[in-house]
Amino acid sequence: MRGFKGVFMLIVTNLLVFLTLIISGGILINFVLPAFGIDMRGSFASYQFAWAMVFGFGGAFISLLMSKPMAKRMYKMQQVVNPTTPKEKLVYNTVKELAERDGVKMPEVWVYWDDAPNAFATGPGRNRSMVAVSSGLVNALRDDEVKAVLAHEMGHVSNGDMVATTLLQGLMNTFVYFLASMIARVIASAVSRGGESSFMVYFAINIVLQILFSILAMVVVMWHSRRREFRADAHAARHYGAEPMIRALQKIEALAQQAQPVEEEEGSGGLAPKDALATMKIHGKASSLFASHPPMAARIEALRHLQKN
Protein backbone atom coordinates (compact mmCIF):
# COMPACT_ATOMS: atom_id res chain seq x y z
CA MET A 1 0.00 0.00 0.00
CA ARG A 2 2.85 2.38 0.85
CA GLY A 3 4.53 1.64 -2.49
CA PHE A 4 1.27 2.27 -4.38
CA LYS A 5 0.83 5.57 -2.54
CA GLY A 6 4.39 6.55 -3.49
CA VAL A 7 3.76 5.80 -7.17
CA PHE A 8 0.47 7.69 -7.11
CA MET A 9 2.08 10.76 -5.50
CA LEU A 10 4.92 10.64 -8.03
CA ILE A 11 2.48 10.55 -10.95
CA VAL A 12 0.36 13.37 -9.53
CA THR A 13 3.44 15.49 -8.81
CA ASN A 14 4.77 15.04 -12.34
CA LEU A 15 1.39 15.84 -13.86
CA LEU A 16 1.13 19.02 -11.80
CA VAL A 17 4.66 20.05 -12.82
CA PHE A 18 3.83 19.35 -16.48
CA LEU A 19 0.61 21.37 -16.32
CA THR A 20 2.40 24.21 -14.53
CA LEU A 21 5.05 24.38 -17.23
CA ILE A 22 2.47 24.17 -20.05
CA ILE A 23 0.37 27.01 -18.62
CA SER A 24 3.26 29.26 -17.56
CA GLY A 25 5.16 28.55 -20.79
CA GLY A 26 2.15 29.36 -22.92
CA ILE A 27 1.60 32.67 -21.11
CA LEU A 28 5.30 33.55 -21.32
CA ILE A 29 5.78 32.75 -25.00
CA ASN A 30 2.44 33.96 -26.34
CA PHE A 31 1.77 37.01 -24.17
CA VAL A 32 4.59 38.17 -21.87
CA LEU A 33 7.54 38.08 -24.28
CA PRO A 34 5.63 39.65 -27.22
CA ALA A 35 4.60 42.50 -24.89
CA PHE A 36 8.33 43.28 -24.53
CA GLY A 37 8.98 43.01 -28.26
CA ILE A 38 10.37 39.46 -28.10
CA ASP A 39 8.23 37.33 -30.40
CA MET A 40 9.49 33.76 -30.72
CA ARG A 41 6.38 32.53 -32.50
CA GLY A 42 7.58 33.52 -35.95
CA SER A 43 9.52 30.38 -36.84
CA PHE A 44 9.37 26.74 -35.84
CA ALA A 45 12.97 26.79 -34.60
CA SER A 46 12.48 29.81 -32.34
CA TYR A 47 9.19 28.48 -31.03
CA GLN A 48 10.69 25.07 -30.27
CA PHE A 49 13.72 26.60 -28.60
CA ALA A 50 11.47 28.72 -26.38
CA TRP A 51 9.52 25.65 -25.28
CA ALA A 52 12.76 23.69 -24.81
CA MET A 53 13.95 26.39 -22.40
CA VAL A 54 10.62 26.36 -20.56
CA PHE A 55 10.74 22.61 -19.99
CA GLY A 56 14.53 22.39 -19.63
CA PHE A 57 15.10 25.12 -17.08
CA GLY A 58 11.57 25.07 -15.67
CA GLY A 59 11.71 21.39 -14.78
CA ALA A 60 15.22 21.69 -13.33
CA PHE A 61 14.33 24.65 -11.10
CA ILE A 62 11.07 23.11 -9.93
CA SER A 63 13.09 20.04 -8.89
CA LEU A 64 15.49 22.34 -7.03
CA LEU A 65 12.65 24.10 -5.21
CA MET A 66 11.16 20.73 -4.25
CA SER A 67 14.49 19.23 -3.13
CA LYS A 68 14.08 19.98 0.57
CA PRO A 69 10.51 18.66 0.99
CA MET A 70 11.32 15.64 -1.17
CA ALA A 71 14.35 14.78 0.98
CA LYS A 72 12.30 15.10 4.16
CA ARG A 73 9.64 12.76 2.76
CA MET A 74 12.17 10.10 1.81
CA TYR A 75 13.55 9.66 5.31
CA LYS A 76 12.16 9.59 8.83
CA MET A 77 13.69 12.89 9.89
CA GLN A 78 13.76 15.11 12.90
CA GLN A 79 14.88 18.72 12.79
CA VAL A 80 17.43 19.80 15.36
CA VAL A 81 16.51 23.23 16.70
CA ASN A 82 17.43 22.97 20.37
CA PRO A 83 20.06 20.20 20.58
CA THR A 84 20.04 18.17 23.76
CA THR A 85 22.16 15.04 23.26
CA PRO A 86 25.95 15.22 22.73
CA LYS A 87 25.63 14.04 19.13
CA GLU A 88 22.93 16.60 18.35
CA LYS A 89 25.06 19.35 19.85
CA LEU A 90 28.06 18.20 17.82
CA VAL A 91 26.15 18.31 14.55
CA TYR A 92 24.22 21.52 15.23
CA ASN A 93 27.15 23.50 16.63
CA THR A 94 29.47 22.39 13.82
CA VAL A 95 27.01 23.46 11.12
CA LYS A 96 26.48 26.77 12.92
CA GLU A 97 30.23 27.36 13.18
CA LEU A 98 30.78 26.53 9.49
CA ALA A 99 27.90 28.76 8.39
CA GLU A 100 29.43 31.69 10.28
CA ARG A 101 32.86 31.01 8.79
CA ASP A 102 31.50 30.71 5.25
CA GLY A 103 29.21 33.72 5.55
CA VAL A 104 25.99 31.87 4.75
CA LYS A 105 22.67 31.72 6.57
CA MET A 106 22.40 28.91 9.09
CA PRO A 107 20.98 25.87 7.23
CA GLU A 108 18.24 23.72 8.67
CA VAL A 109 19.82 20.81 10.53
CA TRP A 110 18.13 17.42 10.36
CA VAL A 111 18.96 13.93 11.58
CA TYR A 112 17.44 10.74 10.28
CA TRP A 113 17.48 7.13 11.41
CA ASP A 114 19.45 4.94 9.06
CA ASP A 115 22.30 2.54 9.78
CA ALA A 116 24.04 3.57 6.56
CA PRO A 117 26.62 6.31 7.25
CA ASN A 118 25.38 9.14 5.04
CA ALA A 119 25.01 12.88 5.01
CA PHE A 120 23.74 15.34 2.43
CA ALA A 121 23.03 18.98 1.79
CA THR A 122 20.30 20.27 -0.46
CA GLY A 123 18.02 23.25 -0.95
CA PRO A 124 17.24 26.01 -3.45
CA GLY A 125 20.15 28.28 -2.51
CA ARG A 126 23.11 29.06 -0.28
CA ASN A 127 20.86 30.78 2.26
CA ARG A 128 17.90 28.39 1.99
CA SER A 129 19.57 25.04 2.48
CA MET A 130 19.42 22.05 4.77
CA VAL A 131 22.07 19.65 6.05
CA ALA A 132 21.08 16.15 7.15
CA VAL A 133 23.06 13.35 8.73
CA SER A 134 22.13 9.75 9.43
CA SER A 135 22.31 8.10 12.82
CA GLY A 136 24.70 5.60 11.26
CA LEU A 137 27.16 8.37 10.40
CA VAL A 138 27.38 9.98 13.83
CA ASN A 139 27.58 6.60 15.55
CA ALA A 140 30.26 5.14 13.27
CA LEU A 141 32.64 8.10 13.09
CA ARG A 142 34.72 9.97 15.62
CA ASP A 143 33.71 13.53 16.42
CA ASP A 144 36.47 15.09 14.31
CA GLU A 145 35.46 12.87 11.39
CA VAL A 146 31.81 13.87 11.74
CA LYS A 147 32.89 17.52 11.68
CA ALA A 148 34.91 16.90 8.51
CA VAL A 149 31.89 15.29 6.80
CA LEU A 150 29.70 18.22 7.83
CA ALA A 151 32.33 20.60 6.42
CA HIS A 152 32.16 18.65 3.15
CA GLU A 153 28.38 19.13 3.02
CA MET A 154 28.70 22.79 3.95
CA GLY A 155 31.15 23.04 1.08
CA HIS A 156 28.30 22.17 -1.27
CA VAL A 157 26.22 24.91 0.35
CA SER A 158 28.84 27.66 0.33
CA ASN A 159 29.98 26.77 -3.20
CA GLY A 160 26.41 27.09 -4.46
CA ASP A 161 26.58 23.58 -5.89
CA MET A 162 22.84 22.98 -5.89
CA VAL A 163 22.11 26.02 -8.07
CA ALA A 164 25.13 25.44 -10.31
CA THR A 165 24.07 21.85 -10.95
CA THR A 166 20.51 22.99 -11.65
CA LEU A 167 21.70 25.54 -14.20
CA LEU A 168 23.81 22.90 -15.94
CA GLN A 169 20.94 20.41 -15.87
CA GLY A 170 18.59 23.04 -17.28
CA LEU A 171 21.02 23.86 -20.09
CA MET A 172 21.47 20.19 -20.94
CA ASN A 173 17.71 19.61 -20.86
CA THR A 174 17.14 22.56 -23.18
CA PHE A 175 19.53 21.27 -25.81
CA VAL A 176 18.17 17.73 -25.47
CA TYR A 177 14.59 18.87 -26.14
CA PHE A 178 15.56 21.33 -28.89
CA LEU A 179 17.97 19.13 -30.85
CA ALA A 180 15.70 16.09 -30.61
CA SER A 181 12.75 18.11 -31.87
CA MET A 182 14.61 19.73 -34.77
CA ILE A 183 16.31 16.53 -35.96
CA ALA A 184 13.08 14.55 -35.61
CA ARG A 185 11.26 17.13 -37.73
CA VAL A 186 13.87 16.92 -40.49
CA ILE A 187 13.85 13.10 -40.51
CA ALA A 188 10.07 12.87 -40.35
CA SER A 189 9.73 15.32 -43.26
CA ALA A 190 12.20 13.31 -45.32
CA VAL A 191 10.52 9.93 -44.80
CA SER A 192 6.91 11.12 -45.05
CA ARG A 193 5.06 11.37 -48.35
CA GLY A 194 5.19 14.68 -50.16
CA GLY A 195 7.80 15.93 -47.68
CA GLU A 196 5.11 16.64 -45.09
CA SER A 197 5.93 15.54 -41.57
CA SER A 198 3.87 12.74 -40.08
CA PHE A 199 3.11 13.45 -36.45
CA MET A 200 3.46 9.82 -35.37
CA VAL A 201 6.82 9.46 -37.12
CA TYR A 202 7.97 12.77 -35.63
CA PHE A 203 6.79 11.79 -32.15
CA ALA A 204 8.51 8.37 -32.22
CA ILE A 205 11.81 9.74 -33.52
CA ASN A 206 11.67 12.63 -31.05
CA ILE A 207 11.27 10.25 -28.09
CA VAL A 208 14.16 8.03 -29.24
CA LEU A 209 16.44 11.03 -29.78
CA GLN A 210 15.53 12.52 -26.40
CA ILE A 211 16.55 9.27 -24.71
CA LEU A 212 19.86 9.12 -26.60
CA PHE A 213 20.70 12.79 -26.04
CA SER A 214 19.69 12.53 -22.37
CA ILE A 215 22.25 9.77 -21.90
CA LEU A 216 24.96 11.97 -23.41
CA ALA A 217 23.82 14.94 -21.31
CA MET A 218 23.97 12.81 -18.17
CA VAL A 219 27.66 12.18 -18.81
CA VAL A 220 28.27 15.94 -18.63
CA VAL A 221 26.13 16.42 -15.52
CA MET A 222 27.80 13.53 -13.69
CA TRP A 223 31.25 14.82 -14.63
CA HIS A 224 30.30 18.12 -12.99
CA SER A 225 28.97 16.21 -9.95
CA ARG A 226 32.28 14.40 -9.52
CA ARG A 227 34.20 17.68 -9.78
CA ARG A 228 32.09 19.28 -7.07
CA GLU A 229 32.84 16.39 -4.70
CA PHE A 230 36.56 17.16 -4.93
CA ARG A 231 35.84 20.82 -4.18
CA ALA A 232 33.70 19.90 -1.18
CA ASP A 233 36.46 17.61 0.13
CA ALA A 234 38.93 20.47 -0.21
CA HIS A 235 36.52 22.71 1.70
CA ALA A 236 36.50 20.20 4.56
CA ALA A 237 40.31 20.02 4.52
CA ARG A 238 40.60 23.81 4.75
CA HIS A 239 38.40 23.93 7.83
CA TYR A 240 39.48 20.85 9.79
CA GLY A 241 42.47 19.39 7.98
CA ALA A 242 42.66 16.61 5.42
CA GLU A 243 43.32 13.73 7.82
CA PRO A 244 39.86 13.60 9.51
CA MET A 245 38.18 13.64 6.08
CA ILE A 246 40.47 10.87 4.83
CA ARG A 247 39.65 8.70 7.85
CA ALA A 248 35.94 9.42 7.43
CA LEU A 249 36.01 8.38 3.76
CA GLN A 250 37.92 5.20 4.58
CA LYS A 251 35.43 4.21 7.29
CA ILE A 252 32.42 5.05 5.11
CA GLU A 253 33.80 2.97 2.25
CA ALA A 254 34.49 0.01 4.55
CA LEU A 255 30.98 0.15 6.03
CA ALA A 256 29.41 0.48 2.57
CA GLN A 257 31.28 -2.61 1.37
CA GLN A 258 30.10 -4.57 4.40
CA ALA A 259 26.49 -3.58 3.74
CA GLN A 260 26.58 -4.31 0.00
CA PRO A 261 26.03 -8.11 0.19
CA VAL A 262 23.00 -7.54 2.42
CA GLU A 263 21.49 -5.10 -0.08
CA GLU A 264 22.07 -7.56 -2.94
CA GLU A 265 20.38 -10.39 -1.02
CA GLU A 266 17.40 -8.22 -0.19
CA GLY A 267 17.03 -7.09 -3.78
CA SER A 268 15.80 -3.71 -4.94
CA GLY A 269 12.24 -4.29 -3.77
CA GLY A 270 11.49 -0.58 -4.02
CA LEU A 271 10.40 1.95 -6.56
CA ALA A 272 13.84 3.43 -7.16
CA PRO A 273 17.49 2.40 -6.85
CA LYS A 274 19.08 2.71 -3.40
CA ASP A 275 21.33 5.43 -4.82
CA ALA A 276 18.48 7.49 -6.22
CA LEU A 277 19.77 10.40 -4.14
CA ALA A 278 23.43 9.63 -4.79
CA THR A 279 24.25 13.26 -5.58
CA MET A 280 22.91 14.18 -2.14
CA LYS A 281 25.10 11.72 -0.25
CA ILE A 282 28.63 11.66 1.05
CA HIS A 283 29.34 8.60 -1.08
CA GLY A 284 27.93 6.66 -4.01
CA LYS A 285 28.86 4.16 -6.67
CA ALA A 286 31.77 5.44 -8.73
CA SER A 287 32.56 2.99 -11.48
CA SER A 288 31.52 4.70 -14.70
CA LEU A 289 30.93 7.91 -16.63
CA PHE A 290 27.48 8.00 -15.03
CA ALA A 291 28.76 7.97 -11.44
CA SER A 292 27.83 10.98 -9.32
CA HIS A 293 30.87 10.53 -7.06
CA PRO A 294 34.56 9.90 -7.79
CA PRO A 295 36.16 6.69 -6.52
CA MET A 296 37.07 6.92 -2.84
CA ALA A 297 40.71 6.21 -3.74
CA ALA A 298 40.81 9.27 -6.00
CA ARG A 299 39.26 11.48 -3.33
CA ILE A 300 41.71 10.27 -0.69
CA GLU A 301 44.63 10.80 -3.07
CA ALA A 302 43.47 14.37 -3.73
CA LEU A 303 43.23 15.02 0.00
CA ARG A 304 46.72 13.61 0.60
CA HIS A 305 47.98 15.94 -2.13
CA LEU A 306 46.46 18.85 -0.23
CA GLN A 307 48.26 17.69 2.92
CA LYS A 308 51.62 17.94 1.18
CA ASN A 309 51.01 21.46 -0.16
Percentage of the chain modeled with pLDDT above 90: 62
79-110 burial by CB neighbour count: b if 16+ within 10 A, else e?
Answer: ebeebeeebbebbbebbeebbeebebeebbbb
Are 29 and 47 in contact by the 8 Å Cβ rule? The answer is yes
Mean pLDDT of the chain: 86
**Share in percent of the chain as helix, strand, coil (round to 5):** 70, 5, 25
Active site members: 153
Q: Does some domain include residue 243? A: yes
* CA distance linking residue 188 with residue 184, whole number of Å: 6
184-218 burial by CB neighbour count: b if 16+ within 10 A, else e?
Answer: bbebbeeeeeeeebeeebbeebbeebbeebeeebb
Q: Does some domain include residue 168? A: no
| 148 pLDDT higher than 50 | yes
pLDDT tens-digit series, residues 265-303: 433 333 333 333 334 566 655 557 889 999 999 999 999
Question: For position 73, what pLDDT does the model report?
Answer: 86
* CA distance linking residue 204 with residue 243, whole number of Å: 53
* CA distance linking residue 8 with residue 266, whole number of Å: 24
| 60 pLDDT higher than 50 | yes
Question: For position 305, what pLDDT does the model report?
Answer: 95
HEC secondary structure over 256-302: HHHHHHHHHHHCCCCCCCCCCCHHHCCCCCCCCCCCCCCCHHHHHHH
* Residue 142 lies in domain: 70-161+224-308
Provide the residue type at 70 as one letter. Answer: M
pLDDT tens-digit series, residues 113-138: 999 999 999 999 999 999 999 999 99
Q: Does some domain include residue 3? A: no
Q: 82 or 197: whose pLDDT is higher? A: 82
User: What's the domain count of the chain?
Assistant: 1
CATH number of the domain where residue 121 is located: 3.30.2010.10
Long-range pairs of 200-206 with CB within 8 A, sequence gap ≥ 24: 206/180, 206/181
Q: Does some domain include residue 192? A: no
Q: Does some domain include residue 136? A: yes
Q: Does some domain include residue 22? A: no
Q: Does some domain include residue 172? A: no
Global pTM reads 0.84
Chain centroid to CA 260:
23
* CA distance linking residue 282 with residue 245, whole number of Å: 11
